[in-house]
C-alpha cells in the first residue's frame, strides 16, 4: 500500500500523522464515495499541493507585490489565471480566494454595502449558506431575500425569483447552490437581473467541471460574476476562483486583496493551474459527460427501487433523495451507509418537516466514482446496495450492512484510486 507522492519524510519525522494519512487513503480507497462535493485529484495535483511554493509569501498580484522574490510565483499565478480564462472563456480570473465561502464574501464586499438587499436561494431548498442564509454572516450583514423551488416539481420557481426581484430590487442575485439536481437556467436569471439592475452572481462550485467539460450550460455571457471552488467536479485542490467580465474585474480583485485576504496560498495556486491544465485536455470532456451519465443511471436505478428523488431525477452530478417513504431519517441512513462502505451525507429536502441536523434526505454525487472508472452499468448494483442498507438500517439488521461493505470492497479492488496504490 503506497501513497503517491510517497510519504517517506513524513513517516520518518511524524509517523503518527503519516499513519493517519495512510488510514485516510485506505478509507477513500475502500469506499464508494458519493459525497457530491468530493472527488479524487490526480497525483500531479497532489504533488503541486505539497511543493516548496508553500514557503513563499506573496501579498498583492503578479507584478504588483508587497514582498520581493516573486519572480517565480508571478509566473505560477499568471499561468493559473490564463488557463482559467481560456477554459471558461472569461475576461478575467482571480485565483487567490482560499475557498468558496471567502470567494462569495469577496463578491459582497465588491458590489454591496452592509444592509443592502440580496436575493439568493433558500438553504433548505438547495441554496448555499453564503447566499444569505440566517446563520451565515451574509444573512446577518445583508437584507437577505430568499427564493425556493416549486413543491410539485422540486425545480427553481423562476416566477417567484422575478416577483421577489421586482419587489425588493436586490443589489445581487445568486444563481446556483449546493443541492440542485437540475440544470440552472442562467439566461432566465440574467433577464431578471437586467430588469432590476442587479449584479448576477453564478455560483458554480458544484458544476464547474461539468461546465468546463461541456456537460452543463455555461453562465459566461449571462452572469457578470462567477464564483467556484476548484475541487468537486473540477478535480483540483481545495481552493476557489472568481471569474468576471472586464467591467467587474477591478472591484473583485480589490475585494479579495486587500479587502479580505493577505497572501495567497501559492502551492494551492500551482495545483489549481495543474487541474485547469488537466481539464483543458480532450479526455476531461469524456469525464464530465461520464459523471452525468452515471448520475442519471443511478437515479433511474433508485427510482426503480422506490426511492423518492427530489425533482424526479437529475441533469448533473447530484441526486437529492427524500427517505420519508423508507421510514428512516437521513442521518441514520447516511451513518449506516457509511458503515456499508457507501459514503454520502444527510441533507434537508425542500419543505422538510424535520430539523436540519436530523433531516429527511440524503445527497449523492457521482464525480468521485466516475474518476475511479465506474460506469452506468455499475449503478444498478450501487442502487441495490443503497436499498439493502437503508432497509437493514430501518430494521436494525447490522450483519446485512456488513455484508454490503464486503461486497463494496470487492468491487473497488478492481478500480484504482489516484494517489494511492494497493
Active site amino acids: 57, 59, 203, 229, 232, 238
Whether residue 127 is annotated as binding a ligand: the answer is yes
End-to-end CA distance of the chain: 4
Whether residue 128 is annotated as binding a ligand: the answer is yes
What is d(CA 376, CA 366) in angstroms, rounded to the nearest whole number? 10
What is d(CA 195, CA 339) in angstroms, rounded to the nearest whole number? 50
Find out whether 390 and 333 touch, Cβ atoms under 8 Å.
Answer: yes
Whether residue 262 is annotated as binding a ligand: the answer is no
Question: 458590489: which residue's cell?
Answer: 111
3-state secondary structure the chain: CEECCCCHHHHHHCHHHHHHHHHHHHHHHHCEECCCCCCCCCHHHHHHHCCHHHHCCCCEECCEECCCCCHHHHHHHHHHHHHHHHHHCCCEEECCCCCHHHHHHHHHHHHCCCCCEEEEECHHHCCCHHHCCCCCHHHHHCEEEEECECCCCCCECHHHHHHHHHHHCCCEEEECCCCCCCCCCHHHHHHHHHHHCCEEEEECCCCHHHHHCCCCCCCECCECEEEEECCHHHCCCCCEEEEECHHHHHHHHHHHHHHHCCCCCHHHHHHHHHHHHHHCCHHHHHHHHHHHHHHHHHHHHHHHCCCEEHHHCCCCCEEEEECHHHCCCHHHHHHHHHHCCEECEEECCCCCCCCCCCCCEEEEECHHHHHHCCCHHHHHHHHHHHHHHHHHHHHCCHHHHHHHHHHHHHHHCCCCECCEEC
Whether residue 46 is annotated as binding a ligand: the answer is no
Q: Annotated binding residues for (6S)-5,6,7,8-tetrahydrofolate, as ranges?
A: 123, 127-129
Amino acid at each position: 500500500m503506497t501513497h503517491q507522492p510517497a510519504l517517506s519524510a513524513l513517516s520518518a519525522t511524524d509517523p503518527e500523522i503519516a499513519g493517519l494519512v495512510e488510514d485516510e487513503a485506505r478509507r477513500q480507497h475502500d469506499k464508494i464515495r458519493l459525497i457530491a462535493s468530493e472527488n479524487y485529484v490526480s497525483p500531479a495535483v497532489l504533488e503541486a499541493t505539497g511543493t516548496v511554493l508553500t514557503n513563499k509569501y506573496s501579498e498583492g498580484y503578479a507584478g504588483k507585490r508587497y514582498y520581493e522574490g516573486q519572480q517565480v510565483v508571478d509566473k505560477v499565478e499568471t499561468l493559473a489565471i490564463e488557463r482559467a480564462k481560456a477554459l471558461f472563456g472569461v475576461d478575467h480570473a482571480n485565483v487567490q480566494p482560499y475557498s468558496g465561502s471567502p470567494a462569495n464574501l469577496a463578491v459582497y464586499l465588491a458590489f454591496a454595502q452592509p444592509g443592502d438587499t440580496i436575493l439568493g436561494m433558500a438553504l433548505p431548498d438547495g441554496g448555499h449558506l453564503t447566499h444569505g442564509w440566517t446563520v451565515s454572516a451574509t444573512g446577518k450583514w445583508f437584507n437577505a431575500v430568499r427564493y425556493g423551488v416549486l413543491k410539485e416539481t422540486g425545480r427553481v420557481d423562476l416566477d417567484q425569483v422575478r416577483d421577489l426581484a421586482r419587489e425588493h430590487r436586490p443589489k445581487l442575485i445568486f444563481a446556483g447552490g449546493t443541492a440542485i439536481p437540475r440544470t440552472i437556467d442562467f439566461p432566465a436569471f440574467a433577464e431578471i437581473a437586467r430588469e432590476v439592475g442587479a449584479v448576477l452572481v453564478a455560483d458554480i462550485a458544484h458544476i464547474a467541471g461539468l461546465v468546463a467539460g461541456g456537460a452543463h450550460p455555461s453562465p459566461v455571457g449571462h452572469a457578470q460574476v462567477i464564483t467556484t471552488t476548484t475541487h468537486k467536479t473540477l478535480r483540483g485542490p481545495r481552493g476557489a476562483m472568481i471569474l468576471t467580465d472586464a467591467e467587474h474585474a477591478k472591484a473583485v480583485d480589490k475585494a479579495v486583496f486587500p479587502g479580505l485576504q493577505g497572501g495567497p496560498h501559492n502551492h494551492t495556486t500551482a495545483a489549481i493551474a495543474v487541474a485547469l491544465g488537466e481539464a483543458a485536455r480532450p479526455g476531461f470532456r469524456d469525464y464530465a459527460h461520464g459523471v452525468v451519465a452515471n448520475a442519471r443511471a443511478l437515479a433511474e436505478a433508485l427510482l426503480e427501487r422506490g426511492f423518492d428523488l427530489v425533482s424526479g431525477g437529475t441533469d448533473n452530478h447530484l441526486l437529492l433523495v427524500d427517505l420519508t417513504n423508507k421510514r428512516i431519517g437521513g442521518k441514520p441512513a447516511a451513518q449506516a451507509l457509511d458503515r456499508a462502505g457507501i459514503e454520502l451525507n444527510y441533507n434537508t429536502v425542500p419543505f422538510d418537516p424535520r430539523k436540519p441536523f436530523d433531516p429527511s434526505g440524503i445527497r449523492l454525487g457521482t464525480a468521485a466514482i466516475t474518476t475511479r472508472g465506474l460506469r452506468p452499468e455499475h449503478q444498478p448494483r450501487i442502487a441495490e446496495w443503497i436499498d439493502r442498507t437503508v432497509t437493514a438500517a430501518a430494521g436494525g439488521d447490522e450483519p446485512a450492512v456488513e455484508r454490503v461493505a464486503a461486497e463494496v470492497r470487492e468491487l473497488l479492488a478492481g478500480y484504482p484510486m489516484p494517489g494511492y496504490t494497493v
